[in-house]
Chains A and B, each alone.
Chain A
Amino acid sequence: MPAPNPAASDAATPDPSEAPPGRVVLDSRDISRALTRISHEILERNKGSQDLVLLGIPTRGVHLARRIAANISRVEGADVPVGSVDVTMYRDDLRMRPARTLLPTEIPSGGIDGKVVVLVDDVLYSGRTIRAALDALNDIGRPQAVRLAVLVDRGHRELPIRADFVGKNLPTSLAEKVAVRLEEHDGEDGVSIR
């Protein structure tokens, strides 16, 4: 038996009918503020919305990417292409569990060649999902640059990967679970630890 894989054990999908378990660390307004800040940071770093493409990692990363795109659109008055990239087939633990349902990969019509792709995910943990996403991007095209935006960075990296834009750094123990809930998917916004 290999050591427990944090990436494999953190697939917490809380039942939306239940109250968020554990300690609430971000509420709806916190999330909104964090995403607004990230949106501004992305624009600042990119010197505008030129050539930006936001790709969310399903499922919650896609919703976050859409929210960031809406923020950017409000600020810049221009639409940023948003899509999704499913990493399932690129996961390094693919063979450790039954074949997983594929999630949508939607690449905006302009493609990603020469673009600045911002990957968006909810929680950054081992870094394995991001590695898989980078591999997936490699098969889709050749961006000018790839950046990473996450709502929560909980630490415990297993690969040399770091986020460019972080909503909140959240020190956790390996035993804890971070649950992100989003209105679009879970009926309400919130991040909790248990």
Chain B
Amino acid sequence: MKKHLLSAADLSRDDAELILTTAEELRSLADRPIKKLPALRGRTIVNLFFEDSTRTRISFEAAAKRLSADVINFSAKGSSLSKGESLKDTALTLEAMGADAVVVRHWASGAPHLLANAGWSRSSVINAGDGTHEHPTQALLDAFTMWRHLGDLDGRRVAIVGDVLHSRVARSNALLLQTLGAEVTLVAPPTLLPYGVDTWGVSTSYDLDAVLPKSDVVMMLRVQRERMNASYFPTVREYSRRYGLDGRRMASLQDHTIVMHPGPMIRGMEITADVADSDRSVIVEQVTNGVAVRMAVLYLLLGGSEPAVGGAAHELSGGEE
């Protein structure tokens, strides 16, 4: 039985839908005077960040605190070039501290996998973004946002546009959205699509204008300026012209189509300010939803005697007296 959330591929359709419906219940908490539930009282959750990401850390921290967990923030700086404290020693430390769950962000793909499987610790491990691999809770909050706007995602068309090659968000979304029945199209210059993407079960396109009118959701990914220097594209101007979402392109969208971005945005690069601030943009809502989804994940992994997602049989009844 899985007690970790390492990859969006760990989630069955039932798991994913349970997380979304749980998040929907938890979202209403934001409207209450006391934004706190007792479910994780006495549980210790460590936010272990080997890479800076203030927004993801804050989101997890808020989620854990609203469920009454004790939260420890542990930021271990270091990169592949300058190794800081080793992952192993950190894991042993956290184990000694009695962490029930470790939310890990790491520059190395697979680090959460290692943390979960190396036998260093008994904690649940939640992947909060690893290298260029995955970011499953981001995909869950994206799916949740789509679901709230569009309902059932079966047959919905989602365009994910930008630096797919280096994007853990794109990988997790491609996996999860397919699980939920959506049709995913990855749109990028060929240089920014991963080798072997043809086996992912998604469509790909080099032509944003052709994809936009058919899409129910357009998710723009951040594109780092530095990619230009590695010849992924010639200039920022050319990239924006071919793959940026501006007002003209937004006009070709269907009325119900929403625009998403996992943040942080580079306005003027992949998205123009008027699009980011338009009515179609659900970018701010994504942040709100992030807390609810992460609460749902924490609750379902840690709230009971064993996890309720990733293979455990679901309790469908509330167990009334």
A contacts B directly in the complex (CB < 8 Å)? yes
- Residues of chain A touching chain B, judged by Cβ–Cβ distance below 8 Å, are 7-8, 10-11, 13, 57-61, 86-91, 94-105, 107, 121-126, 128-130, 135, 139-141
Select from chain A the residue with minimum beta-carbon distance to B40.
A89
Flag whether B299 is at the interface (Cβ < 8 A): yes
Instruction: Give the distance in Å from the alpha carbon of A122 to the alpha carbon of B36 in the complex.
Output: 27
19 additional A-B residue pairs with CB within 8 Å, beyond A89-B303, A97-B304, A139-B34: A11-B318, A13-B317, A58-B318, A59-B318, A89-B299, A90-B38, A94-B303, A98-B305, A98-B312, A98-B315, A99-B304, A99-B306, A101-B308, A101-B316, A103-B318, A104-B25, A105-B28, A125-B321, A139-B36
Segment 297-315 of B: residues with Cβ below 8 Å from A: 299-308, 312-315
With A98-B307, A99-B307, A100-B315 as known contacts, state yes or no: A7 contacts B22, CB within 8 Å.
no
Task: Report whether A59 and B308 are in contact in the complex, using a CB–CB cutoff of 8 Å.
Answer: no
Residues of A within 8 A of B21 (CB): 101-102
Flag whether B150 is at the interface (Cβ < 8 A): no
- Residues of chain B touching chain A, judged by Cβ–Cβ distance below 8 Å, are 18, 21-22, 25-26, 28, 32-34, 36-39, 67, 299-308, 312-321
Contact sample, A vs B, 7 pairs, CB 8 Å cutoff:
A58-B320, A95-B304, A99-B306, A101-B316, A102-B26, A103-B25, A124-B321
With A101-B316, A104-B25 as known contacts, state yes or no: A7 contacts B305, CB within 8 Å.
no
Instruction: Give the distance in Å from the alpha carbon of A140 to the alpha carbon of B221 in the complex.
Output: 39
Select from chain A the residue with minimum beta-carbon distance to B312.
A98
With A86-B25, A89-B37, A89-B299 as known contacts, state yes or no: A100 contacts B307, CB within 8 Å.
no
Of the candidates B304, B315, B320, the one whose C-beta lies within 8 Å of that of A60 is B320
Instruction: Give the distance in Å from the alpha carbon of A130 to the alpha carbon of B37 in the complex.
Output: 17
Instruction: Give the distance in Å from the alpha carbon of A129 to the alpha carbon of B312 in the complex.
Output: 24
